[in-house]
Structure 1
Amino acid sequence: MNQESIKLIENYYAAFNAGDMDTFLNLLTDDVIHDINQGKRETGKDAFRNFMGGMNDSYKEELVDMVIMATADGKRAAAEFVVLGEYLETDEGLPEAKGQKYRLPAGAFFEIRDNKVARITNYYNLQDWIAQVSA
């Protein structure tokens, strides 16, 4: 496994957990591709910044139990983790937010270019999340 790519993804998630959006965004290429779970594809750092702004308004999350893997050439990586979250503000088309807490297994796939994240694809079970915040 490529340790440089693993370190990049570790830094990416450490910045996320710290709420350090400047560092988080600086780990992305300018033309980063973001495949949103069960949603559309967005391209560019500005689109990702806007997405994260909405996420940070609606959710408070910490990622734990992180396992990161990378290909030998360092061009691809993957991470498996658990999202510990709190639903703060209602997200359009989703159940009403009332501060519900949730625990959600998730994963992500990455393409890496020039030691930056060039693509991120996130996966989690949306129906599981909906059931947790609707209970």
Structure 2
Amino acid sequence: MSQAETKQLIAAYYDAFNRGEPEAMEAMLHDDFEHHVNEGGIRRGKDGFAAFNRHMSETYRENLTDMVIFANEDGSSAAAEFVVNGTYLKTDPGLPEARGQSYRLPAGTFFAIRDGKIARVTTYYNLADWIRQVS
């Protein structure tokens, strides 16, 4: 993939996120997909990511803004920086109680691209900042 095609893929992935269409996001994933969780483990495969998306949509309502997408020259690696604008809907185990709190959080994601699909997603955000905002 070219640099421009990779940037278009990442933009489409996040457009699907903002539209609340996890199936469209999942369609862009490579069969050997890995999701590296912020301050957590690694989910392997599309099924694990689909389960994660279901949990997230029940627990949080989020919209991403101020998106900037970067890609290397051969399109095999990309990154995105953005702001997460969210509402905490349902208490996530081990985290503060949800009461419909709003939050605004800078975040970034790194991607590996293979065979025209997203092979790895690694997202980072400041969990302590998020906890402070919803506590």
Settle same-fold status: TM greater than 0.5: yes
Structure 2 counterpart of 1:49: 50
Runs of 4+ in 1 over 2 A off after TM superposition: none
- Relative to the length of structure 1, the TM-score reads 0.98
Q: Secondary structure at the match of 2:40?
A: coil
Structure 1 counterpart of 2:30: 29
Q: Secondary structure at the match of 1:98?
A: coil
Q: Secondary structure at the match of 1:99?
A: coil
Separation in structure 2 between the aligned mates of residue 68 and residue 115 of structure 1, nearest angstrom: 17
Structure 1 counterpart of 2:110: 109
Q: Percent identity?
A: 56
Q: Secondary structure at the match of 2:84?
A: strand
Separation in structure 1 between the aligned mates of residue 65 and residue 10 of structure 2, nearest angstrom: 14
Structure 2 counterpart of 1:5: 6
Deviations 1:8-45 (A, max 9, x none): 00000000000111211100012210000001111000
- Write the mapping of 1:1-135 to structure 2, written as runs, cut at 5 A: 2-134=3-135
Separation in structure 2 between the aligned mates of residue 89 and residue 19 of structure 1, nearest angstrom: 17
Structure 1 portions without partners, runs of 5+: none
Cα RMSD (Å): 0.8
